[in-house]
Structure 1
Amino acid sequence: MKEAKIQFYSDLACDNRSVTLVTGWLFLDYLDAVTFPLLFLACIAGSILVIVITHRRVAESKAREWFLTSAIICVLAVSDMVGMVFEGGQFAINVQDFVDSRPRSDLLRSLEWNMLQATMRWGREASLTLSNWLLICFSVERIISLRPSRMNSLVYLDSVKGGAACTLLVLLCYAAISPLPYLVDDTGYYVSEATNLTYHQPDWLRMWLEVQFYHEIIFISGTFFTLSCSALGVYRLLKSHQEEQKHLAQQGLRKHLVAVRKPSNGSSSISTGATRALIGCLFLYFFTQSPVVVRNIVIQLDKNCVFNIPGVDKKNSETIVVLIARLNFALDFFIYLVVDRKFRQHAEYLFLEMLGRVEDRKTRRKKKLLKQLSDSRSTSSGSSLIPNSPSPSYENDQSPRFIMEALLGTEETKKTAEHCCYEFRDVLHAKTTQDTLLDRVDEWKI
């Protein structure tokens, strides 16, 4: 088996400053080639399903508005997809090398392939950095929402739209600039290789790479510490909230619990599910990013001759780290599926709808709300204000006359009917106000 020595550093005092590239493919290379398509499909399909199911949950909530938590989950899913797309570019390069019949030591890629590899490296680092910051934002939002003063309610996205947009823009800029020295260094090296010139790394770039290397270690380690504290805080607040609910229920204050402690925007289930999903994502992050920190520290110590690592196959260690790190992009959907019961129910109904086993979401929601209208009207006191109106039946619950009678009944039925009209305004062609419905009486021929 042939070997090729590539010298990365000018100081020859330390033998560990050279990296050995072994020709041919090893077992881990084949494992990477088999697992990557599966992880790629899991990431793309899972992220799309996360966005679709999150949108369905928002549409079926009482407020029917986007929350900050839902927006963060969707942006995190998009970041995972982008990161896996960049991983796909690197996978294409590996396949191209495998198809090429020449030994790897003699393989000289074209400048386009080399620039693609440099861009893929930059994109992977940028996507991972963005995901780290989104997890931190997710943790901060969960802590704010779980405070006793907020009663486990979510923050509306419209109320913080400007701040959220500015924060996302800053994070995107930071994620794009952070791995930039790697892109500059790779570009200079590949251009010199294409023009048969010797690449001399500038002093300012060498210093920038050193700073970026230590910055990466500090950033990931700091993210570990921040997310660990956030996970403990979120878990404690969630347990406190659940204990408070149990205490009030044991004292026979179920009605008081529903009326006072339940969020007014109906976001309790989304908030609790998001908290559990966050804790699951944090454990996944610790598992996938710990090898990256260890790898970076070992490489830095080895490069500085702090200790020798004889017989260490850097290529195999790099492949293992990449295989584990890819799980960070691919398993978020399964985390949500396992820890969030409501998310699991929506996913089940979505697949059943795709198979034609159940009715679509809007039809089920419509029947549920009209059933609530029927039950509310049958239990309300007093006669209907519309003379000679027939007694309602479940078959006639979809008629505009029934919704009009509910609007003119008690306050409870009025609120339910208004919500029903808002839910199906495309069907009724009416707004949620009583005046608008009264104006449409002639058209409905009541």
Structure 2
Amino acid sequence: MHLSSAPKMATGGMILPWYGHWTTEEDDCHRLINRTTELPATAYVSVVCVPFLVLFCTAGNIANFWILWRHCQPGAKQTFLLSLAVVDVLALWCAVPLYLNNNSEIFGIDYLEAPFLVYSYGFFFWLQYTLWNVSDWILVAFSLDRLNAFQFRAPSRVHEGHRRRALFMVCGFFLLAGTIGSGTLVGFYHWWNNRTKYYVQPEWVAKWTRIRQQIDIACPIMVTVFLFVINLWLFLHLRKQMKLGRKLMSATNSITAPSGNARSQRAAKQRRQNHLTRMLLGCVAVYFITQLPAVILNTLDHLSFAPYCLFHFTAKPVWEPIISTLALVNYSSNFAVYVGMSDVFRQAAEVLASRISRGRCWRSVEDGPADGLNEEVEGNEEDGSLIADSNTSRRRMSLRQSYGQDDAEEFS
């Protein structure tokens, strides 16, 4: 069975740390493994970039968490986005021990002095693999939730059941993804307990690994297709609604001229809808750009090993550091996408940066609004805004004063 001397995103066999003395001399296509090859120059791409990606992901998702927790309406939307922030941070930090293992030759790490790096390699690889899949599926679920809010006009009134259902979905994603990747986890520790220079991989581990490889190829393609179709449907629906709205406006204007306040409210609602749609389409674009090279690499790698052995994929050591680093960008760029696509999110980020500079990041809600952004901002599920502007909150408070708490919720 194939046991490579280098770690892989998807391999013809089992994932192992970088340690040539623990691997066989030939792969499962009976090709000799060349252990005298020098490290390619591209190996330093991950050495330089991964620490910056981890730090950027951590800082960006902490900001995402703060903004979403304080300014996003409780419900399925908030649960999905908060879960996405947490999952992405954990996935990037799982890359740290793998990063040390993969570049142990560059860093001069002696595994005899740091056995934890080797022993924990299988666990962190499985956990990162699981979290990557969970992150992808959360993005699909969030897109479906937005489509449901627009196309099928789900009630905008907040129900605890919506939040709980979203949380159960995230937990279900984790269990499913963990089960899919468990073959790697079991196979690694089977090797650990029976490791020799000429260790032979059991057939059941090899079969499980090949199934996982096929999932590695199919899953990103399916996620990309789902995201594209769902968000294209959402985009076309919004365009149709905006055209219909303009026709109704022109018909109404021919009878009665609308007030300036009504025009501004309709324009603000359209802007919020466009912001969230652009954010979702931006996430789809980032996912496609960063994951497509990994799909191609995994496909070529899968076909180069048993049972296919169609060719000898010698270019993989050159391209893998670049492609694996690019794949990490997808899980560290959410904050940049949100800020680049949403004016309201950008405003909240500016408020957060201002508070951090003055040491007042966790100011309580009771202290009142600050820096022009209402602290009790609540999103609107029906119009699809990620976080609502202060006009929404002021309108709701005015309704509560006039009609009471329960009646006001009907206008939200």
Normalised TM-score (structure 2): 0.74
Q: Secondary structure at the match of 2:331?
A: helix
Q: 1:140 maps to which residue?
A: 144
Q: State the partner residue of 1:224.
A: 224
TM-superposed deviation, 1:319: 1.1
- Report the CA distance between 1:221 and its aligned residue: 1.9
For the 8 Å contact 1:248–1:257, the answer to whether it is kept is: no
Query: Which residue is equivalent to 1:416?
Result: 398
Query: Residue 78 of structure 1: CA displacement?
Result: 0.8
Q: CA deviation at 1:174?
A: 0.8
What residue is the counterpart of 1:336 in the other structure? 338
Alignment CA distance shift 1:254-1:75 (3 Å)? farther
Report if aligned partners of 1:277, 1:335 keep a CA contact under 8 Å in 2.
Answer: yes
Paired position in structure 2 for 1:131: 135
Structure 2: distance between partners of 1:135 and 1:269: 22
CA distance in 1, matches of 2:395, 2:37: 76
Q: Structure 2 counterpart of 1:322, which letter?
A: S
Deviates more, 1:93-102 or 1:44-53: 93-102
Letter in structure 2 aligned against 1:71: T
Partner of 1:31: 45
CA contact (8 A) 2:143 2:280 kept: yes
**1:398-427 C-alpha deviation (Å, 9 max, x unpaired):** xxxxxxxxxxxxxx999628569xxxxxxx
Aligned twin of 2:17: none
Q: Do the aligned partners of 1:114 and 1:190 also contact (CA within 8 Å) in 2?
A: no
When the two chains are superposed, the root-mean-square deviation of aligned CA atoms in Å is 3.8
**1:48 and 2:52 aligned:** no
| Displacement after TM superposition at 1:218 (Å) | 2.2
- Contiguous gaps of at least 5 residues in structure 1: 59-64, 370-411, 421-430, 434-446
**2: CA distance between counterparts of 1:290 and 1:99?**
30
Do 1:80 and 1:329's aligned partners in 2 also have CA atoms closer than 8 Å? yes
Q: Tell me if structure 2 keeps the 8 A contact 1:39–1:327.
A: yes
Task: Determine the structure 2 residue equivalent to 1:182.
Answer: 184
What is the 5 A alignment of 1:377-388? none
Q: What is the distance in 1 between the residues matched to 2:109 and 2:300? A: 34
CA distance in 1, matches of 2:396, 2:183: 62
Whether 2:258 is the aligned partner of 1:244: answer no
The one-letter code sitting in structure 2 at the alignment partner of 1:308 is F
* Structure 1 residues 366 and 38: CA distance shift in structure 2, 3 A: closer
Output the amino acid matched with 2:177.
Answer: A
Distance 1:19 1:77 in 2: 40
Kindly tell me: are residues 300 and 356 of structure 1, through their superposed partners in 2, closer, same or farther at Cα, counting changes over 3 Å?
Answer: closer
Q: Is the 8 A contact 1:83 1:124 kept in 2?
A: yes
Secondary structure (helix, strand or coil) at the match of 2:194 reads helix
Query: What is the percentage of aligned positions where both structures have the same residue?
Result: 18
Shift of 1:154: 4.8
The reply to whether residue 57 of structure 1 matches residue 39 of structure 2 is no
Following the alignment from structure 1 to structure 2, what is the Cα–Cα distance between the partners of residues 268 and 284? Answer: 24
The one-letter amino acid of 2:192's match is Y
The aligned runs of 1:108-187 (5 Å cut-off) are 111-147=115-151, 149-150=153-154, 154=156, 156=158, 158-187=160-189
Per-residue CA deviations over 1:145-182 (Å, capped at 9, x if unaligned) read 111645xx757351423422322221110121111111
Cα distance in structure 1, aligned partners of 2:35 and 2:276:
45
Tell me, yes or no, if the aligned pair for 2:88 and 2:331 is still in contact at 8 Å: yes
Matched residues in 1 for 2:397 and 2:326: separation?
52
Q: Are 2:29 and 2:309, in contact at CA under 8 Å, matched by a contact in 1?
A: no
Deviations 1:320-343 (Å, cap 9, x if unpaired)? 221110101111110001011110
Distance between the aligned counterparts of 1:187 and 1:38, measured in 2? 31
Residue pairs, 1:185-334, within 5 angstroms: 185-193=187-195, 196=196, 198-251=198-251, 252=253, 254=258, 272-304=274-306, 305=308, 307-309=310-312, 312-334=314-336
The answer to whether the 8 Å contact 1:248/1:254 transfers is: no
2:176 is paired with a residue whose SS is helix
Equivalent AA in structure 2 for residue 92 of structure 1: L
Query: Who is 2:81 aligned against?
Result: 73
Unmatched tracts of structure 2, length 5 or more:
1-19, 375-393, 407-412
8 Å CA contact 2:28, 2:305 repeated in 1: no
Distance 1:415 1:190, change over 3 A: closer
In structure 2, relative to structure 1, the CA distance for the partners of 1:358 and 1:93 (3 Å cut) is closer
Provide the secondary structure at the position in 2 that maps to 1:201: coil
In structure 1, give the amino acid aligned to 2:88.
Answer: D
Distance, in Å, in 2 between the alignment partners of 1:100 and 1:79 is: 31
Q: Work out whether residues 234 and 277 of structure 2, in 8 Å CA contact, stay in contact via their aligned partners in 1.
A: yes
* C-alpha displacement of 1:7: 4.4
Label 1:219 to 1:367 Cα distance change in 2 as closer, same or farther (>3 A).
closer
CA contact (8 A) 2:40 2:317 kept: no
**C-alpha contact (below 8 Å) 2:45/2:325 kept by paired residues:** no
SS of the residue 2:222 aligns to: helix
Whole-angstrom CA distance in 2 between matches of 1:6 and 1:325 = 29
Q: Contact conserved, 1:337 with 1:344, CA < 8 A, in 2?
A: yes
